[in-house]
Chains A and B, each alone.
Chain A
Amino acid sequence: MTFDRRRFAGILAASAAAAATPGFTEAGRALRVGEVVDGGELPAREASWYKKLDEGRVECQLCPQACTVADAERGTCGVRENRGGTYVTLVHSLACSVHADPIEKKPLFHVMPGELALSFATAGCNVECKFCQNWEISQFRPEQVRSIYLPPEALVEAAKRAGAKLTAATYSEPVIFWEYVRDAARAARKAGLAPTVITNGYIQEEPLKEVLPHLSAVKVDLKSFREEFYREQVRGKLEPVLKALEIIRGADVWLEIVVLLIPTLNDSESEVRDLARWVKSNLGADVPVHFTRFHPTYRLTDLPPTPVKILERAWNVARAEGLNYVYLGNLPTHPGENTVCPGCGGVLIRRLGFKILENRLTKGACPDCERVIPGVWD
């Protein structure tokens, strides 16, 4: 976990501006906005989605893990704890990572190109991907990482000071800090910012539907199109993710999908073809799909980075199946980074990594053939 020093200073300055925001108490003490929480007693507030069971146990109704949690224990996520029959979240407003990123880094390619997103995360995750790139925050509990108390209003102030027009709940897994996501999105909307979420989509229907109206865009990491992969590499299930994708697509919110292609595990041509067909049939051809390059990390250090030819094969297969916007990620300079008009084939947005080199979109349409390109462009 790292804070960007410059941004961190900005956030603390923003904290002063948001000093009117009441902190909440823990162990009889009020937390100050911007206060560093490094171990010690965590703030706690009652979680929003759970059911009380007999004998002091609770059932979490936030994600498909549906943990049954005994008193003094936590769910799989490590951030929700049963305290005497009341389920609490330990991470609301407890940001362990805050940074202003280009929206292209999320990646969301059809959302306000070139703009900054004030990105934030708490510790914890509801699955355990063996290839997690942010495992040093996602696979730890909140008392094990350094965080700051950053309530929604202070987060919005920080975004404004950073010049960000968006917020992004990201890095670890926003589902596990869903109450914070909800409240931050409300505050962002109120301030004229566009709230986004970068998620694994492993969430139950009700909490998803409750928060979607407050969001402008969602990017879902579809880890694979095989249940076996989800079981063995993710410790989750595919089916609930597909359901979440359909719900998001049916809501008034922009959706993009990222698939991290891992050599030998989820990169077969047949799997990519099945995935592309499902997306087209169930979500539509206009949902952007990004195939990104794997780099060895966490528990998957014995596999090489994804060969470029494998990524290109996926790119070609998905386009051949009829998807209109297929991208390649973690491959700077590759033409697969660009947005191309499905009508005339002209390049509309040229990218280099997270930079926008050229944006020819005119009022959300191709300037050559006038085809409307779907997205959130303003």
Chain B
Amino acid sequence: MTRRWTRRELAAIAGAAAMVGVSDASPGNPSIRRRGVVGLGSLTGDAKGKVDAGAAAAAMDSVLRAATGAADITAAVQGLFKPSDVVGIKLNCLGGSRMSPRPEVVSAFVDCLVAGGLAPERIILFERSSRELERAGFEIRRDGSGPQCYGTDNDYDRQPSVSGAIGSCYARLVSTTCTALVSFGVVKDHDLAGVSASLKNWYGVIHNPNKYHDNQCDPYVADVVRHPFIKEKLRLTVLDGVTAQCHGGPAYRASGVFPLAKLAATTDPVAADLWAWKVIDAERVRRGMSTLEAAGRPPRFIATAARHGLGVGELDELREVEV
């Protein structure tokens, strides 16, 4: 399909490119983006799934350094973001309070960004709707000196953007407001896509995700993410894997939940999904269940995303860096 840009898109893309540079060139330190590398740290919850704030902070510091190869958190953050960036952190709160990024883990990440030199008021936590954020335990904040937190709700571009097979109005937070993006998801099974962790999270920034769930969401997931609104701004993917869900997703289903006890971070969004697929399948096999492939829903969008240059798509290219 021929790609057509609206004037508004071109202006937004040109603006973003001017601010952050294009392609793979991160601000500060281009080498900080490491294909295939997933930083992994141990992080466990209590009986109710709550995580100790100190443990979350320590784990976050470690995995961010592992993901970027930076010597310290300041170098990691400054390698990924410029002080002038408006950083949008897309949370995946579809699973409600029991299968969403934990507020205390997200808070640890925000603290790292601030420690690395970003102004708190230039950090925006967001999801499709404010209601979903609140259900997951987040407090809505639209002003003040701290990080903001609110839903896209109805604030989409007025005209659709075409990217591959999709035609969608992107959230203005993504197309216009933010100059850098982070995907902050969970590790869970998805009834149609196979896996919902990293790339699938971005379905939450288009107005019509319901149109793109056929064919196991392939090639649509990759098409959403390869639009320059996301591709040129996406710096990092973080996954709260304290608990994960190997079956029955994307909604919370207690019988599918297991303690993964991991926190993951990577600059390669496709590698993040590869890792999620791997750990979900491992748990399914441990339980005597079929793998996602045998169940008829391998996350095929991963290979498609890799073909579009969004990251690595083969397990032998995945490098897990445990800390």
Chain B binding site: helix, strand, loop or mixed by DSSP? Answer: loop
* CB under 8 Å from chain B, chain A span 113-172: 128, 130, 135, 139-141, 143-145
> Smallest CB–CB gap between B7 and chain A, Å?
12
Measured CA separation A67–B248 after assembly (Å): 17
Given contacts A55-B248, A56-B253, A302-B4, whether A70 and B211 have CB atoms under 8 Å apart is: no
Is B208 interfacial (CB 8 A cutoff)? yes
> Which residue of B has the minimal Cβ distance to A75?
B210
Given contacts A39-B154, A73-B191, A299-B160, whether A56 and B248 have CB atoms under 8 Å apart is: yes
Measured CA separation A57–B192 after assembly (Å): 11
Complex contacts, A145 vs chain B, CB 8 Å = 154
Question: Are B214 and A301 neighbours in the complex by a CB distance under 8 Å?
Answer: no
B123-134 vs A: 1/0 string, CB under 8 Å? 000000101000
Measured CA separation A77–B208 after assembly (Å): 9
Complex contacts, B129 vs chain A, CB 8 Å = 39, 143
> Smallest CB–CB gap between B9 and chain A, Å?
13
> Smallest CB–CB gap between A65 and chain B, Å?
8
Given contacts A57-B191, A130-B167, whether A140 and B4 have CB atoms under 8 Å apart is: no
Question: Are B131 and A41 neighbours in the complex by a CB distance under 8 Å?
Answer: yes
Measured CA separation A301–B9 after assembly (Å): 15
Is B213 interfacial (CB 8 A cutoff)? yes
Complex contacts, B70 vs chain A, CB 8 Å = none
Of B160, B167, B250, the residue contacting A70 (CB under 8 A) is: B250
Complex contacts, A301 vs chain B, CB 8 Å = 4
Complex contacts, B214 vs chain A, CB 8 Å = 76
Measured CA separation A57–B213 after assembly (Å): 15
Measured CA separation A140–B207 after assembly (Å): 7
Question: Are A144 and B156 neighbours in the complex by a CB distance under 8 Å?
Answer: yes
* CB under 8 Å from chain A, chain B span 187-220: 190-192, 207-208, 210-211, 213-214
Question: Are A78 and B250 neighbours in the complex by a CB distance under 8 Å?
Answer: no
Complex contacts, A72 vs chain B, CB 8 Å = 94-95, 250-251
Complex contacts, A299 vs chain B, CB 8 Å = 160, 162, 167
Complex contacts, B131 vs chain A, CB 8 Å = 40-41
Measured CA separation A302–B2 after assembly (Å): 10
> Smallest CB–CB gap between B4 and chain A, Å?
6
Chain B interface residue count, Cβ-Cβ cutoff 8 angstroms:
26
Question: Are B249 and A141 neighbours in the complex by a CB distance under 8 Å?
Answer: no
Is A51 interfacial (CB 8 A cutoff)? no
Measured CA separation A289–B191 after assembly (Å): 42
Question: Are A139 and B4 neighbours in the complex by a CB distance under 8 Å?
Answer: no
Measured CA separation A244–B156 after assembly (Å): 35
B249-290 vs A: 1/0 string, CB under 8 Å? 111010000000000000000000000000000000000000
Question: Are A128 and B251 neighbours in the complex by a CB distance under 8 Å?
Answer: no
Is B293 interfacial (CB 8 A cutoff)? no
Measured CA separation A41–B211 after assembly (Å): 22
Measured CA separation A301–B213 after assembly (Å): 25
B153-193 vs A: 1/0 string, CB under 8 Å? 11010001010000100000000000000000000001110
Measured CA separation A267–B4 after assembly (Å): 23
Question: Are A139 and B154 neighbours in the complex by a CB distance under 8 Å?
Answer: no
Complex contacts, A298 vs chain B, CB 8 Å = 160, 167
Measured CA separation A77–B248 after assembly (Å): 22
Is A235 interfacial (CB 8 A cutoff)? yes
Measured CA separation A41–B131 after assembly (Å): 9
> Which residue of A has the minimal Cβ distance to B190?
A70
Given contacts A70-B191, A299-B160, whether A139 and B208 have CB atoms under 8 Å apart is: yes
Given contacts A39-B153, A57-B191, A143-B129, whether A78 and B162 have CB atoms under 8 Å apart is: no
The 16 sampled A-B contact pairs (Cβ below 8 Å) are A39-B153, A55-B253, A56-B251, A57-B191, A70-B190, A70-B248, A70-B251, A72-B94, A72-B251, A78-B208, A78-B211, A128-B208, A130-B167, A140-B208, A145-B154, A299-B160
Which residues of chain A have a CB within 8 Å of any CB of chain B?
39-41, 55-57, 67-68, 70-78, 128, 130, 135, 139-141, 143-145, 235, 298-299, 301-302
Which residues of chain B have a CB within 8 Å of any CB of chain A?
2, 4, 94-95, 129, 131, 153-154, 156, 160, 162, 167, 190-192, 207-208, 210-211, 213-214, 248-251, 253
